[in-house]
């Protein structure tokens, strides 16, 4: 979230943010809403209004907004001084003196310029050779020295709402005297206006402590007001004038004269793009009375329109649109409010629209307003209103009127505007897809171009700056998959929106492989497969994976041999090892003399199985198979064997594993089978105790699985389960009764808290 500043001291005043009377809407959220929108304000609205594009959770839209009040005007101020100094001083040097140098540094540069200092510090610019006259230099440096002193009370470090509050610095009286003297003495209009600004700012901060909540009573005898009114016509209506006007507005705001304050803020807002953010920040009508008062102060329709636009960006776009349209249907200030209206309606509906296909609730008044203005066709951008009206109808499921509005918009579009053309295409495609009831060959042919275009945008093969295509892309995937699934075309449905259930059926995988291997794909199939997230190697790996758990080792090896890099990646731990207590991190960090990949793991399993079939090393080989089949479950050290994109790579809990694969990846039944066979082949009681304990781990995991899979526990997190009494009673009892005299028994008493608790309890 963008930082919210406490003060706007260099700009003009700071103001309260509370409001009463008028109800001000304030959204909330923590996502990038542009990804969930089909309607790009950049296609329709002048860039100067971009900070006010709709966003429910940021102060201002976008990341390039300069929201630091202490630096907001730096570029502009440097340009103004550069022009005033006739470009005689390098811009970087002007910038250094204005914003980087300290008071002492400025004084040193001044003394060096006058010849009273023999050497200049290395970090300071040399203006002696700049071409400035003595008078120009003295005027410039004299102002800078006084302006730097004013920063003590007027410039605040950037702070955040969570920072400790820092008290304001009280302006020093001697500064005021120096400013007044310099103002009276100055004959340079450019510099004199800046002294006036500094005096006004001084007056604002001087009177600030005395302006209490009830100070609106009685006459306004403020020195700030007197000073402003006395000289306001002496200077041009430039940025310095409006920055000064901002302090006057702040004065009225603190006196609770909100009508006057908000009117003055609107004048500042309308002057330049740089002043829009601070003016809008400070603009806060409290109720209908002071809002009416601000409107009454407006001298012409344009000033009223500005006030209505500012109001509409925080509250009730409809009302603001209606009033601006009545004042001037061609006003550019309508554009911003329409974009906010549309984005506010579409964005909060993302969850329902994207996940379930439910339509957002469109108010009849919104449809009526946009439709009425679009029908009149007398706005500055009639295509904009037709596209907006069409989009609202499309969101509402009214596809016939939506198509009519879009057709009208298409006939009005200006030529050679790539973003606007792309915006129209996106909305039209979305409407076409939403109104599609059945997909046949003809429909597929008509969709190829748009589907390829969206895929190109996704893959950055085509770029249209500021186009919001992510929602259209997601909706296209969802809608097409749902349509095909309804028609029984499961392969096509899977291509557009993949689901894990599809891969639980090997026939589905074979059908998908056949499509991928098809030599003469249709143009639509080629386009469709651009949306399919997997390749043949992924499918072969998935088949090899499932064959492994079915102990179809030869077939699994054959599949893994076709799985490419996926089956050739080193595994994080040795899957043939075992521990009393599972410690995956310990296994990951252990020195591994031999690294296994999924393919070499299967080949090793085959070798071990061959030795078992030949009656060789039955205890060791069965124990190794028990270990590997244990470790390739959720409870073992080789989860990376099954954690793939298809089966959910990031599953850290059994609850994260897709339900179609959860029984396979959490079951220790295979491991238990081989541990018991190893126990039958064991030669010593210590070996038998080890096999029995390892089988107990499998029994305990089965208890875990039963708890995880209980319907009543489906919404629990894994840390909410109590496994303190999940005893493997069958094998624990056998260990206690048969093998308590073995050294291994003592080892597990020391290391396994479950078993120790069981022994103590029973």
Q: What percent of the chain has pLDDT over 70?
A: 89
Q: Please report the pLDDT score of residue 164 as a whole number.
A: 60
Buried b (16+ CB within 10 A) or exposed e, 499-534: eeebbbeeebbeebeebbeeeeeeebbebbeebbeb
Q: What pLDDT score does 707 carry?
A: 80
**pLDDT score at 547:** 98
CA distance 687 to 351: 57
Query: What is the per-residue pLDDT for 166?
Result: 60
Name the residue among 37, 14, 620, 580 with its Cα closest to residue 265: 14
Task: Dig out the tokens for 295 from the structure.
Answer: 């409107």
Contact 19, 289 (CB under 8 A): no
> What is the C-alpha separation between 233 and 435, in angstroms, rounded?
62
DSSP character string of 427-457: HHHHHHHHT-----HHHHHHHHHHHHHHHHH
Spell out the SS3 assignment of 659-725: CCCHHHHHCCHHHHHHHHHHHHHCCCHHHHHHHHHHHHHHHHHHHHHHHHHCHHHCCCCHHHCCCCC
* Residue 590: how many other CB atoms lie within 10 Å: 13
Instruction: Please compute the mean of the pLDDT values over residues 35-56 and round it to a whole number.
Output: 93
- Under the banding of pLDDT at 50, 70 and 90, the label for residue 759 is confident
Has residue 357 got a pLDDT over 90? no
Distance CA 202, CA 352 (A): 54
* Mean pLDDT, rounded, for 144-172: 74
**Mean pLDDT (whole number) for 202-224:** 74
CA distance 735 to 200: 89
pLDDT recorded at residue 23: 33
Confidence of residue 170 (pLDDT cuts 50, 70, 90): confident
Tell me how far CA of residue 418 lies from CA of 49, 421, 422, 423, 455, in angstroms: 20, 5, 6, 8, 18
**Residue 267: is its pLDDT beyond 60?**
yes
The torsion of the CA quartet 346, 347, 352, 353, rounded to 10 degrees, works out to 50
In whole angstroms, give the CA distance from residue 641 to residue 587.
Answer: 15
Identify the DSSP state of 97: I
- Own/partner pairs, 614-617, CB within 8 angstroms, 24+ separation: none
Identify which of 563-572, 700-709, 752-761 has the greatest average pLDDT: 563-572
Q: Mean of the per-residue pLDDT values for the chain?
A: 89
Give the containing element (helix H, strand E) for 496. helix 490-496
Per-residue pLDDT tens digits for 288-325: 999 999 999 999 999 999 999 999 998 889 999 999 99
Residue 5 has pLDDT above 50, yes or no: no
Give the pTM.
0.85
Length of the chain equals 762
Counts for the chain of helices (H) and strands (E), in that order: 35, 0
């Amino acid at each position: 979230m963008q930082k919210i500043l406490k003060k706007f001291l260099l700009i003009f005043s700071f103001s309260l943010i509370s409001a009463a009377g008028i109800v001000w809407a304030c959204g909330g959220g923590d996502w990038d809403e542009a990804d969930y929108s089909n309607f790009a304000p950049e296609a329709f609205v002048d860039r100067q209004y971009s900070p006010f594009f709709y966003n429910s959770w940021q102060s201002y839209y976008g990341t390039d907004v300069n929201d630091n009040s202490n630096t907001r005007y730096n570029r502009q101020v440097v340009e103004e001084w550069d022009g005033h100094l006739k470009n005689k001083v390098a811009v970087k040097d002007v910038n250094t003196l204005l914003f980087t140098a300290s008071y002492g540094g400025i004084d040193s540069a001044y003394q060096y310029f006058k010849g009273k200092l023999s050497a200049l510090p290395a970090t300071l610019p040399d203006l002696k050779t700049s071409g400035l006259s003595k008078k120009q230099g003295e005027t410039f440096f004299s102002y800078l020295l006084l302006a730097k002193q004013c920063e003590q009370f007027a410039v605040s470090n950037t702070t955040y709402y969570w920072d400790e509050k820092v008290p304001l610095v009280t302006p020093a009286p001697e500064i005021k005297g120096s400013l007044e003297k310099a103002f009276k003495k100055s004959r340079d209009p450019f510099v004199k206006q800046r002294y006036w600004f500094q005096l006004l700012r001084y007056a604002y901060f001087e009177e600030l402590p005395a302006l209490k909540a009830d100070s609106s009573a009685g006459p306004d005898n403020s020195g700030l007001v007197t000073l402003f009114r006395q000289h306001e016509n002496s200077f041009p209506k430039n940025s310095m004038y409006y920055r000064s006007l901002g302090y006057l507005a702040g004065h009225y705001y603190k006196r609770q004269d909100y009508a006057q304050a908000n009117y003055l803020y609107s004048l500042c807002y309308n002057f330049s793009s740089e002043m829009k953010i601070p003016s809008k920040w400070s603009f806060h009508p409290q109720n209908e009375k002071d809002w009416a008062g601000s409107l009454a102060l407006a001298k012409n329709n344009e000033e009223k329109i500005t006030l209505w636009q500012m109001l509409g960006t925080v509250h009730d776009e409809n009302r603001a649109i209606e009033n601006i349209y009545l004042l001037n249907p061609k006003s550019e200030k309508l554009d911003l409010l329409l974009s906010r209206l549309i984005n506010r309606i579409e964005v909060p509906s993302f969850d329902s629209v994207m996940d379930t296909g439910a339509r957002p609730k469109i108010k009849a008044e919104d449809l009526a307003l946009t439709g009425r203005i679009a029908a009149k066709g007398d706005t500055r951008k009639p295509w904009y209103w037709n596209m907006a009206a069409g989009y609202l109808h499309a969101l509402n499921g009214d596809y016939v009127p939506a198509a009519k509005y879009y057709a009208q918009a298409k006939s009005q579009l200006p030529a050679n505007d790539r973003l606007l053309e792309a915006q129209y295409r996106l909305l039209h495609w979305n409407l076409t897809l939403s109104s599609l009831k059945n997909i046949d060959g003809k429909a597929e042919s008509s969709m190829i171009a748009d589907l390829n275009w969206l895929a190109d945008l996704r893959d950055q093969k085509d770029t249209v700056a500021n186009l919001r295509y992510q929602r259209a892309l997601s909706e296209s995937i969802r809608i097409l998959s749902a349509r095909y699934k309804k028609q029984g075309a499961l392969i096509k449905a899977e291509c557009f929106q993949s689901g894990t259930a599809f891969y639980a059926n090997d026939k589905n995988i074979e059908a998908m492989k056949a499509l991928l291997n098809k030599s003469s794909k249709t143009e639509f199939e080629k386009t469709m497969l651009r949306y399919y997230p997997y390749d043949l190697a992924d499918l072969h790996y998935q088949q090899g994976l499932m064959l492994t758990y079915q102990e179809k080792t030869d077939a699994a090896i054959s599949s893994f041999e076709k799985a490419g890099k996926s089956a050739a990646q080193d595994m994080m731990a040795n899957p043939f090892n075992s521990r009393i207590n599972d410690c995956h991190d310990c296994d990951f960090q252990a020195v591994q003399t031999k690294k296994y990949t999924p393919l070499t793991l299967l080949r090793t399993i085959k070798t071990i199985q061959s030795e078992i079939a030949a009656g060789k090393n039955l205890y060791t080989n069965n124990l190794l198979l028990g270990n590997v089949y244990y470790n390739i479950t959720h409870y073992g050290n080789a989860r990376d064997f099954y954690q793939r994109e298809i089966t959910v790579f990031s599953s850290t809990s059994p609850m994260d594993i897709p339900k179609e694969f959860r029984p396979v990846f959490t079951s220790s039944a295979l491991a238990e089978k081989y541990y018991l066979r190893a126990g039958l082949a064991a030669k010593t009681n210590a070996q038998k105790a080890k096999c029995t304990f390892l089988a107990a781990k499998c029994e305990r995991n089965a208890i875990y699985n039963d708890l995880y899979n209980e319907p009543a526990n489906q919404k629990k997190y894994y840390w909410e389960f109590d496994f303190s009494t999940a005893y493997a009673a069958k094998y624990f009892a056998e260990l206690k009764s048969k093998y308590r005299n073995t050294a291994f028994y003592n080892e597990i008493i020391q290391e396994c808290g479950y078993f120790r608790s069981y022994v103590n309890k029973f």
